Amino acid sequence: MCGITGFMHFEDRPVEENVLKRMMSTLVHRGPDAEGLYIDGSMGLGHRRLAIIDLATGEQPLVEDNNNFALVFNGEIYNYLELRDDLRKRGHQFKTESDTEVVLKAYREWGVDCLSRFNGMWAFALWDKRNGELFLARDRAGEKPLYYSVYNGTFVFGSEAKALLEYGIPPDANGEMTEIYLTLGYIPAPYSFYKHIQKLESGHYLVVRNGVVRDQAYWVLPQIPEREMRVDDYEVCEEFAHLLKDSVKLRMRSDVPFGAFLSGGLDSSSIVALMAETSSHSVETFTIGCDEKAFDERALARQVASSFKTNHHEFVVQQDAFDEALKHTLYHYDEPFGDSSAIPTMHVSEQAGKYVKMVLTGDGGDEVLSGYDSYASEKIADIYRIVPAGMHNAILATMQPLLRATTGARRYKLNRMANVISTSAMSFEDRQIHKLSCIRPDKANKLMLDSGDCLPVYEYIKDVMKDCLFTDNFYKLMYFQYRVTLPERMLTKVDRMSMAHSLETRIPFLDYRLIELMAAVSKKVKMPGLKRKTVLRRAMKGKLPLDLFRAPKKGFSVPLREWFKGEAFSEKLASMDLSGMGLSQRGIRQVIDDNRSGKYDCGNFIWMLFLLDRWHRESS
């Protein structure tokens, strides 16, 4: 696991070594163990290393064939041993024990098609001097990031935007992204909040040659015709259980100490259970919690840790961590990133990094298994669409007195129920906008004094979905999550906060074999009725404490809505000024008042505004 960066001048002028070294220095947190660079005329590659496999001979850049090939690689190829055996049979000789050399040899054997043979996570840049091509790629799911820019006759890239900014790419804000940010809470690839910087999409590669940059998809989520989806539930569960166990086993290949994040939920607990089956020693587990009971899963995590006799470590996030979280989030994401679960992820990564260099996590389970509540709401919406519109209005009318009479947690639940009903007749795109927004879209829109220059979020979602072949909204949601929310929110969060503390995370649920298996499985098997994660529950039956199967889903979050009600944040809230970003101060005050009164849960949205405010001040 590493940080990579570099640049290529299109005209014939030499790479400035001091510039390349400065770019590398911005990524030291991603690779504190070693550094290396490669320069060949107008081509330069830089690398910062976090040593996990082949500690002795895994240095980068990896150069061979008299400087005709050079590679900087960030990630892990979990099936590298099997691929190395195959490549040896084909006549290749190896000088190291690293998966990096397997990547380079695989490219020399199969060219771009090597990507389809890798099981892992990656972002890499490979210079093929013979063809005058720079080849860059990002893994299927998008676990590892890659930013790039074409500016003033130079192609520049890096694991994080800060490396490109250090090169000299102007930090001009991209105001067209404001509406998308206020809805999603982040800027999805290929866009960024910087005018001159793009992100490579998951499952894509770039070829840079003769001043031309070609962007190409090499993997897309399989779109099985809905009538052909698998309904053989027993066989699906057996195959899933086998693949998940093998995925965990592959991801435990390491030459350094490792452990697991344990939230107390079904997904991470399943990973720990399978690790305990495979490991010859006690698993190190790490849990983060908070004092507010509604947000805390430490008790369940303790049960799991006790069941599998792990070496368990738990920590608590306090309100006084807010300023530190704000600073870290802005620095490590380089642009506003409003998913507040980055706060506990940051803290658990920091603590785990004191004990191990790598952890397995339960991330991705909700995407692979279609396990989010939003999938259930799609099924409910299908039912409501059959009901006459007049009955929708009658149901909503009966809820109004309850909404007026309640505040706090009960009102938040009623608001969510009313949202499902009121949006059931909307188009898929409009319904996603309502579901993804942290506050009602009409309230977010009122914050923007002039949205004329913004890319409308509706048009963005419509563009994402233009190649989707599914007609059932359940599967449309699956497609959207793999294209957008998985790589651009969840995996971005995990990568930045773990690598901020030089900690590698590995995600067994995102083995491409599991993704492709479950993408072909009917919703009747994934979610019979409204029961979530049936396949995983069957696969883990008898292996986990019973309380785990009964516990409601809480998510990995902190009680921002409660924090922002307190006096401790009054001064911070009053100091926000986003008029320079074209947002209404009066509208922002209304959002704060709605949260303080308990009328709406606006905690995460206020966090988003905090980040936007600070980022705008610092980048102006």
State the catalytic residues. Answer: 2
CA dihedral 248, 250, 78, 480 (to 10 degrees): -30
* Cβ–Cβ under 8 Å, residues 5 and 159: yes
By the 8 A CB rule, do 403 and 410 touch?
Answer: no
**H/E element holding 6?**
strand 2-9
Task: Tell me which residue of 129, 173, 138 sits closest to 159, measured CA to CA.
Answer: 138
- Residue 70 · residue 88 · CB < 8 Å: no
Cβ-in-10-Å burial (0-12, 13-18, 19+) of 16 comes to middle
For 154, the 3-state DSSP assignment is: strand
- Determine phi and psi for 147, rounding to 5 degrees: -105, 150
Sheet harboring 198-199: ordered strands across?
A: 34-40, 43-49, 2-9, 154-158, 147-151, 198-199
Distance between CA 153 and CA 151 in Å, rounded? 6
Reduce the DSSP state of residue 138 to 3 states and report it: strand
End-to-end CA distance of the chain: give it in Å, rounded: 33
Output the CA–CA distances (angstroms, integers) from residue 369 to 534, 612, 617, in the order listed: 8, 33, 41
Element (H, E) at 17: helix 17-25
Residues 414 and 406 sit within 8 Å (Cβ to Cβ): yes
All residues at 6 or more sequence positions from 83 whose CB lies less than 8 Å from its CB, including other chains: 77, 102, 106, 117, 118
What are 196's two structure tokens? 């001159």
Single out the residue of 413, 344, 374, 361 nearest to residue 559, CA to CA: 344
**CA quadruple 237, 238, 239, 242: dihedral positive or negative?**
positive
Burial of 133 (0-12, 13-18, 19+ CB in 10 A): middle
Q: Can you tell me the distance from the alpha carbon of 182 to that of 448, in angstroms, rounded to the nearest whole number?
A: 9
Alpha carbon 563 to its chain centroid, in Å, reads: 25
DSSP assignment of 404-465: HH--HHHHHHHHHHHHHHHHTTS-HHHHHHHHH-SS-HHHHHHHBS--TTSPPHHHHHHHHG
Residue 357: phi and psi, rounded to 5, are: -105, -10
